[in-house]
Amino acid sequence: DVKVTQSSRYLVKRTGEKVFLECVQDMDHENMFWYRQDPGLGLRLIYFSYDVKMKEKGDIPEGYSVSREKKERFSLILESASTNQTSMYLCASSPGLAGASNTGELFFGEGSRLTVL
Amino acid sequence: AQTVTQSQPEMSVQEAETVTLSCTYDTSENNYYLFWYKQPPSRQMILVIRQEAYKQQNATENRFSVNFQKAAKSFSLKISDSQLGDTAMYFCAFMKPFRAMFSGGYNKLIFGAGTRLAVHP
């Protein structure tokens, strides 16, 4: 089974702090994604990566950056956390386009609930 | 731009009964993929069912089935014989076909706002 692991389930940070959210997948997937989940808004894409060291902005990249130094690991960085970044963050992965197993399905981690005070 | 609308923020159903969750979407694409994802309380999101737009036959997965109306751009999820374990947030999602994406081969999904389903004993 595909396993996507997010390092922290719950975090509490203060305004202005730098925050790292880590995500690791064990299925050799090319694609990795960071979504933000808020009530009434569903899931919104922050950033995604389709290869090591490659990244693309999603729909709401402002205030965030990402890092993908290794294929299995995709990190989301909040350089200076603000209260409006209090949210649930979901990491996901999927095979690349060339993968015969790519049905379009995303495989999600359990989520990281971040509270910024 | 594509949009996905789930008009029912919350729904409830009695155990063993049938419930239908609605989803509409807007796109100018002719070929695309639609998904229903389930997010149980404090657990990871998983795929429930997938539909390819070029297939006329509605997808089914055990107790889960869809009513795909392409002309109406509607994609509802029917859960038969509801079970307590079906209690979850359900998200409808849209994806453009792979060939419409530029190089990289990623599959970018657009999600609806979600429907919270409660199954009562």
How is chain A split into domains, by residue range? 4-98+106-116
The confidence band for A102, taking pLDDT boundaries of 50, 70 and 90, is low
| pLDDT at residue A5 greater than cutoff 50 | yes
| pLDDT at residue A35 greater than cutoff 80 | yes
Give the pLDDT confidence of B92-121 residue by residue, as tens digits.
Answer: 999 876 654 444 456 678 999 999 999 999
Give the pLDDT confidence of A55-94 residue by residue, as tens digits.
Answer: 989 999 999 999 999 999 999 999 999 999 999 999 999 8
| pLDDT at residue B63 greater than cutoff 70 | yes
**Beta carbons of A8 and A90 less than 8 angstroms apart:** no
Nearest to B91 among A42, A51, A105 (CB): A42
Q: What is the pLDDT of residue A115?
A: 97
Task: Please indicate whether, in this complex, the C-beta atoms of B46 and A42 are within 8 angstroms of each other.
Answer: no
Contacts of B55 in chain A (CB under 8 A): none
Torsion, CA B107, CA B110, CA B113, CA B116, rounded to 10: -30
User: Mutating which of A91, A97, A112, A113 best tests the B interface, going by the most B Cβ atoms within 10 A?
Assistant: A97
Q: What CATH code is assigned to A4-98+106-116?
A: 2.60.40.10
Query: The CATH number of B3-98+106-120 is which of 3.20.20.70, 2.60.40.10, 3.40.190.10, 3.30.360.10?
Result: 2.60.40.10
Contacts of A96 in chain B (CB under 8 A): 104-106
- Nearest CA among A106, A8, A7, A25 for reference residue A72: A25
